[in-house]
Amino acid sequence: MPSLYVHIPFCLRKCFYCSFTVAISKEHHASRYVACILREAQRYQGETLDSIYIGGGTPSMLTEGALRKLFKELPGIFRCAPGLEVTIEANPETIDFAKAELLFSLGVTRVSLGVQTFHEKYLRWMGRTHTAEQSVRAVAALQSALLTNINLDLMYSFPGETMSELESDVKHLAGLGCAHVSLYALSVEPYSRFYVQGIQPLPRDTEAAFYEDVRRRLSRSGYRQYEISNFCRSGKESFHNKNYWLGGDYIGLGVSAHSHRQGRRSWNTAQLNAYMAAIESGANPEEGHEVLTPEQQ
């Protein structure tokens, strides 16, 4: 049974490290885009899913109406395995108690929150649009709405970052008592603002020392490492992430989304207007594909 990934590209602002396909100030296309997602999904009518992951972009930016339409109609197209894991990515500034209650009522079982750091200077430096206090309030809102299966993204290896600053981040994060942590070193990707600016992360040996220190601290705080970047409390592994890393099949819907079926990997166009035009005309939005050898897999 495949997993399902749905890409929601809309963002308030593009973070300076981001190289993903995002759409800034184009939220007015959201209703049309969700309709296109659902139309593309009909190509897979009746498939049984093991997990759903709504990523982006900032999916939590969607209006209540758009979210309700997406979550109401997807289960009518696909079959859902018992105990289906349903994850949505969110930025802290988009989450309050009302939004958390809405997500819970729609069947979301897991939220991945883009905290990144609790140091205001690094949040501003990265171009993030939230504060550390908003991260804390977002976690509290989700927990109050009974959405307790929460992942927190943590980034490190910022130029000039010290070990004590990173240790402070880990202590703050662990104190929130969330189920899962995704740990990412800053990487400067082509097409990102940092790439154009020539930003360099910390030296590799320093980055490696930071990584080992975080691993030890998370372990002492009750988080078990089950993948290079992923740590969780007992029984809280992300099924969706594990399916990717174990080479499973997955369906990708939306602009730039990737799919994998038995060694064939394909991807949709990364242009929002081209994607919507293709779907509305009945054309295939696929931009390319490759067949992976056993060695590549």
Query: H-helix or E-strand containing 163?
Result: helix 163-175
pLDDT tens for residues 169-189? 999 999 999 999 999 999 998
Omega of the bond leading into 177 within 30 degrees of 0 (cis): no
Residues 6+ apart with CB under 8 A from 176: 136, 139, 152
Mean pLDDT across 201-219: 96
pLDDT interval class at 13 (50, 70, 90): confident
Q: Check pLDDT > 90 for residue 20.
A: no
Phi, psi of 87 (to 5 degrees): -110, 140
Q: What's the mean per-residue pLDDT of the chain?
A: 95
Q: Check pLDDT > 90 for residue 54.
A: yes
Q: Check pLDDT > 90 for residue 67.
A: yes
Q: Check pLDDT > 90 for residue 61.
A: yes
pLDDT interval class at 24 (50, 70, 90): confident
> What was the pLDDT predicted at 163?
96
Q: Check pLDDT > 90 for residue 21.
A: no
> What was the pLDDT predicted at 59?
96
Q: CA 122, CA 60: separation in Å to the nearest integer?
A: 23
**DSSP letter string, 177-244:** T-SEEEEEE----TTSHHHHHT---S-HHHHHHHHHHHHHHHHHTTPEEEETTEEESTT---HHHHHH
pTM: 0.95
> What was the pLDDT predicted at 69?
97
Extract the runs of DSSP E, i.e. beta strands, from the chain: 3-8, 10-11, 23-24, 48-56, 79-90, 110-116, 150-156, 180-185, 224-227, 230-232, 250-253, 258-261, 264-268, 286-291
> What was the pLDDT predicted at 229?
95
Per cent of the chain over pLDDT 70 is 100
Decide: 48 and 4 in contact? Cβ < 8 Å: no
SS3 at position 101 = helix
Q: CA 297, CA 295: separation in Å to the nearest integer?
A: 5
- DSSP code at position 294: T
> What was the pLDDT predicted at 25?
80
pLDDT tens for residues 98-153? 999 999 999 999 999 999 999 999 999 999 999 999 999 999 999 999 999 999 99
More confident site: 116 or 1: 116
> Which of 190-194, 231-235, 255-259 comes out lowest in average pLDDT?
190-194
Identify which of 151, 183, 177, 187 has the alpha carbon closest to the alpha carbon of residue 53: 151
Q: Check pLDDT > 90 for residue 37.
A: yes
